[in-house]
Amino acid sequence: MTSQRVAIVTGGSRGIGRAIVKRLAADGFKVVVNYAGNQREAAAAVEEAGADNAIAVQADIADETAVKALFEAAIERFGGVDVVINAAGRMDLAPLADFDLATLDEQVRVNLRGTFVISQNALRHLRDGGALINFSSSVVGLAFPTYSVYAATKGAVEAMTLVLAREVRGRDITVNAVAPGPTATSLFLDGKDQETIDRLAQQPPLQRLGQPEDIANVVSFLAGPDGRWVNGQVLRANGGVI
């Protein structure tokens, strides 16, 4: 491994992605903060990480040309890529019978195609000793009503992750997925009333919602030297809810 470790974090401007950026910068990484459109939040994430430690790069993760430019920017600024974290995602909820097909296509585009395109570029550019960390969700197992499309996209990410771990045999690259449970981010909280939030918070034996920092700690482990023997796994970081 090189002494200077570099990470790309998609969806790094807000929520779990932003907590990951902050944690990896504290761990000594140089971090590329990918964002879809909110430049102000991306700049704030860079400021939190330290201007010498991070840059923000806008890219649509499902656009192969934009993603190629994202990786090129990381290599030009920091010299290479060692860790890639697919934290960007979209969650639209409705009963399957009522789900809008255009929204279905967009959610598949972001969650599945986006993870695919980022992963494809990661495997082309990761240095030996690197790590690819995808994001699933514990709703794959929880099977909450209205989550059919979101859970389906994340189930596909899990399947892809396990295959990729075997396809990079011989390169000393780990490939894993993190599957958070209910976590206090705007992605999770938006559209839910307080009664629903309180009920979900009581499901884990630890009786609270996860915090973005809880998930960032798991990513830090997988991205660092202590996580090198964990490979081809889905880590359900959910406080014990399943």
DSSP letters for 124-153: HHEEEEEEEEEE--THHHH--TT-HHHHHH
The alpha carbon of residue 40 and the mean position of all alpha carbons in its chain are separated, in whole angstroms, by 20
**Residue given tokens 């990079």 in the structure block:** 168
Question: Which candidate in 78, 147, 150, 188 is catalytic?
Answer: 150
- Cα dihedral sign for 30, 162, 184, 15? positive
CA distance 93 to 239: 23
Annotated catalytic residue 35: no
Burial class (CB in 10 A: 0-12, 13-18, 19+), 80: middle
Instruction: State residue 139 phi and psi, 5-degree precision.
Output: -70, -15
CA distance 180 to 150: 13
The candidate with the shortest Cα–Cα distance to 32, out of 5, 3, 12, 61, is: 12
Residues marked active site are found at 150
